Amino acid sequence: MENMRQLMQRHVYTIKFSVAFFYGVLVSLAVNYFWTPGHIYSSGVTGLAQLINTLTMHAGVWHISTGLGLFLINIPMFVLAWKQVGKTFTFFTFICVVFASVMIRLIQPIHLTNDPIICAIFGGAINGFGVGFALKNGISTGGLDIIGIVVRRKTGHSIGSVNMAFNSLIVLSAGFVYGWPYALYSALGLYVSARVIDMTFTRQQQLQVMIITDRPKTVIDCIQNHLQRGITIVHDVEGAYHHDEKTILFTIITRYEMEGLETAMEEGDPDAFVSISPTIKVLGHFTESKW
């Protein structure tokens, strides 16, 4: 049993290292192939590192490249993650940031286009997918992702929305450095990145589930085995067509748990009526997933 546990842990760590490397490649492609040629600033710490790189471009030995700046700015974020999120999470965040910093340095820019709109959209989409994929696999890309996770746990706001709230300075910087049209292009890139993050990282998207069944005990057992979610029961419900007795079950899940819900329903009552709708906000106790 102990050997099996160690094997599983090694497998999980291997996946996380692979995800961190994959993110490093994606963010380097976004920076070197799209954002830099198009004079587009990224969101959060990456955008701040780009800004520092631009401002110190002619500072000689004091020049701080984007990759180096990305690592240096993230150092206080590592401390925050260590205290507020967890040690394992912080370790893989550190690995993720190191991969990103190194890959931005190693992967040389290839000129594809200077069109700022294309650079904003494709750079934002590639970066957003990389960030969302990393978060989905339980690691952070550093910077505002860590702040976003801490704020989300306290307020319920999505990661992408938190990032957008912190990026006004980046947009203004793009306007001052490259001209105000580029501020709009950078804002477009930030919007695309935030939307792709929310589409990829679905763990923070909450859904209300209503189940109408005549096998409530079996369905409850299956859902709690697969999802470990609380369920509210409404007894003595009558179907209008056959006038047979039914039970309504209500629960809240995340979009990330949809597959588990479908499996539970297939096992518990494949003939049940299930209605799933987005939840704007949840008041009261709702358990967040642990990293």
Domain annotation for the chain: domains and CATH numbers: 2-200 (no CATH), 206-278 (3.30.70.120)
290 pLDDT above the threshold of 90: no
What CA–CA distances, in Å, run from 286 to 243, 251, 282?
Answer: 35, 10, 7
Average pLDDT estimate for 81-106: 88
CA torsion sign, 148 to 35 to 72 to 167? negative
Q: Which residue is listed with tokens 């993110």?
A: 23
Question: In this model, does residue 156 exceed pLDDT 80?
Answer: no
Name the token pair of 134. Answer: 């990393």
Contact 231, 250 (CB under 8 A): yes
DSSP state, 240? T
Mean pLDDT of all residues in 259-268: 89
| Average pLDDT rounded to a whole number, residues 6-26 | 86
Query: Is the pLDDT reported for residue 25 higher than 90?
Result: yes
Distance between CA atoms of residues 142 and 140, nearest Å? 5
Which one of 177-181, 201-205, 257-261, 271-275 scores highest in mean pLDDT? 271-275
Q: CB atoms < 10 A from the CB of 250, how many?
A: 13
Cβ neighbours of 4 (radius 10 Å): 8
Rounded to whole angstroms, how far apart are CA atoms 46 and 212? Answer: 48
Per the listing, tokens 């961190």 go with 20
Paired sense of beta strands 206-213 and 273-278, if any: antiparallel
Dig out the tokens for 59 from the structure: 């500072």
